[in-house]
Every structure is written in C-alpha cells, then in structure tokens.
Copies of this chain bind each other. A is one copy, B any other.
Amino acid sequence: MDKRELIIDALQQLFEEGKAGTASVSEIARKANIAKGGMYYYFKSKEEVLDALVERVYQNIINECESVINQSKENAVSKMKLLLDHYRQSYVDPTLDEYLHMPENAGIHQKSLVQISTSLSPIISRILEQGVQEGIFICDYPQQYADIIMSVFSFLLDPGLFLRSRQNMILELKGFADLLEKGLNAPEKSFSFLYTFK
C-alpha cells in the first residue's frame, strides 16, 4: 500500500478512536509510521488529509452504488429502490459525519455533496431511461430529474442542515415520492420505499 493511503488510513483510525478532532499532523504521522517530514511530501496540512479521507469515503460509497446497480437485472423501479436505499444506508463513521457538519468544515462537506451528486446522478439518469424503455416511466429530462433527486438528498434531507422530527421527515419523503410518481407518470406507490423504513 502506498504511503499516501497509509496516512489517510491513520486519520480514519483516529476518527474511529474518537481522537481525530484534536490530532495534530505529528500524531497522524506517528500513527501511520511515517516521519513527519515525509508526511509533508504527501499532505501540507491536516485539512488536506481530512479532505482526502472524505473524498475516499464518498468515492467508496459511489463505487458500491455503481456496483450494486451494475449487478442488478431488475426493472427500473426496483433499481431506484436498490440505489437510493443503498445510498441512504451507506455508512459514514458517525464521528466523521459529525466533524463534517461543523461550520468550519462546511467547505469540505459541500465539496463532498457536490462530488456524490455529480457521480450518482448519471446512474439515476440511466435507471430513468431504462424505465422509459420498459414503459414504466414517461420522462423527457432523465438527467435533469436525476440532478433534482440528488439535490433533494444532498440538501433538503440532510439532517445536519435541517432538524426535523421523524414524523416531519416521513412527510418530506412522502411529498418527494408523490412528486416523483407524478413527474415520471409512474404507478402510484412506486416510490413508497422512500418513506417505508425497515
């Protein structure tokens, strides 16, 4: 494994141990078994390591979502459920998630949301196109609908941005499902998976 990845691993471990918030660059280097001087060859600051870690975490989520969809042979509605459920349940270490929601890390957070939206949107768009071919959906703007879906997930449904009761969250998801069903001319309840939790 290359040294760059080892340094990112070290910060990830510090997050899992709950020590990342206060960890200095030296501590990250020590954890990675790398001389502090060598570390600066890869990263100029702790923020850069954090940035790389966040990018890796989100890239992993994107890769998993892609692989789940590529392996599926189901129809468009089932694929939408598969993808969006997988995305929503994707694991981000709670300490890292909390860190991302601190005002001073909003820049990295926003960048990661743009990254994940830009990456997942083409996958959703292809599923919508599949649905049109299957005769389940009617949609002249699959790419744009996909972008809207991702922006609702990235902004409106972020519990770190909007504090909501569980009941209000379910209402938001019901409204969102209703808009998608009507927009796509999809059978009623096609998107009920959005608000019916395990």
A89 to B46 CA separation, bound complex (whole angstroms): 39
Interface centre among A113, A150, A172 (most CB of B within 10 A): A172
Size bin of chain A's contact surface? 35 or more
Q: Which of A17-25, A31-39, A60-68, A152-160 contacts B (4 or more CB under 8 A)?
A: A152-160
List residues of chain B with CB within 8 A of the CB of A185: 182
- A contact set with B: CB distance below 8 Å: 102-111, 113-114, 117-118, 140-141, 143-145, 147-148, 150-152, 154-156, 161-162, 171-172, 174-176, 178-179, 182-183, 185
Would you call the interface of chain A mostly helix, strand, loop, or mixed? helix
| Minimum Cβ distance to chain B for residue A78 (Å) | 22
Known A106-B109, A110-B110, A141-B171; judge A156-B147 contact (CB<8 A).
Answer: yes
Interface pairs A-B: 8 shortest CB-CB: A144-B175, A103-B107, A141-B175, A106-B107, A106-B106, A151-B156, A155-B155, A179-B183
Please state if A104 and B103 are interface contacts (CB–CB under 8 Å). Answer: no
Please state if B148 and A152 are interface contacts (CB–CB under 8 Å). Answer: yes
Please state if B172 and A183 are interface contacts (CB–CB under 8 Å). Answer: no
Please state if A161 and B110 are interface contacts (CB–CB under 8 Å). Answer: yes
